[in-house]
C-alpha cells in the first residue's frame, strides 16, 4: 500500500460538484492499493499516518502528530500511485490491485483511521475527484508498506 501524505491547513474533495469530504488542519492522504497488499499493509500505513511527527511544536520543530494537534485526515483513493513510468511514456498499472480488492483495503484503512478517534473524511472510490487544499510548509511524505522507499 502506498500513501502520499501532505500536511494541510485545510482540504476538501468533490465529485461532480458535490463535496464528499473536508477537513481543517490535518493530513491529506492519497492512498493506493497494490495487487499483493493485505490487511497488514493497511494497518502499517494507518499506523504510520497517525504517528507521523510532521506538525510543529511550540519550539518550531516538526515533532507533533495529527493526533497531537487535534487534526483530521482526508483520504482519497488513488490507484495511479502504482503507475510505473520507467519505460515508455504511458504508465503501466499492473502493480495496482483490482478494483474489488482495492475498495476493500481502502475502506478498511478508512475504518482504521476513524476507529483511532481522528476525524476522518473520504473521497469517493473509483470516482473522478477534484481535490482542493492548502499545503502547510509544504510538507509531503511518501509511505510504502513494502518499504520500497
Catalytic residues: 78-80
DSSP assignment of 81-138 = GG-B-SSSSS-B-TTBPPHHHHHHHHHHHHHHHHHTTS-EEE--TTS--EEEEEEEEE
Tell me the C-alpha to C-alpha distance, in Å, between residue 129 and each of 35, 38, 46, 75.
Answer: 23, 25, 22, 12
Amino acid at each position: 500500500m502506498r500513501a502520499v501524505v501532505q500536511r494541510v491547513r485545510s482540504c476538501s474533495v468533490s465529485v461532480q460538484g458535490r463535496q464528499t469530504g473536508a477537513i481543517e488542519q490535518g493530513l491529506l492522504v492519497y492512498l493506493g492499493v497494490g495487487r499483493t497488499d493485505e490487511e497488514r499493509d493497511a494497518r502499517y500505513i494507518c499506523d504510520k499516518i497517525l504517528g507521523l511527527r510532521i506538525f510543529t511544536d511550540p519550539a518550531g520543530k516538526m515533532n507533533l502528530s495529527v493526533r497531537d494537534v487535534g487534526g483530521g485526515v482526508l483520504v482519497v483513493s488513488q490507484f495511479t500511485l502504482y503507475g510505473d513510468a520507467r519505460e515508455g511514456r504511458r504508465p503501466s498499472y499492473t502493480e495496482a490491485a483490482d478494483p474489488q480488492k482495492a475498495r476493500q483495503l481502502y475502506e478498511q484503512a478508512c475504518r482504521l483511521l476513524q476507529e483511532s478517534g481522528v476525524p476522518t473524511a473520504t473521497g469517493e472510490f473509483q470516482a473522478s475527484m477534484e481535490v482542493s487544499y492548502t499545503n502547510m510548509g509544504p510538507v509531503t511524505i511518501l509511505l510504502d508498506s513494502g518499504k520500497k522507499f
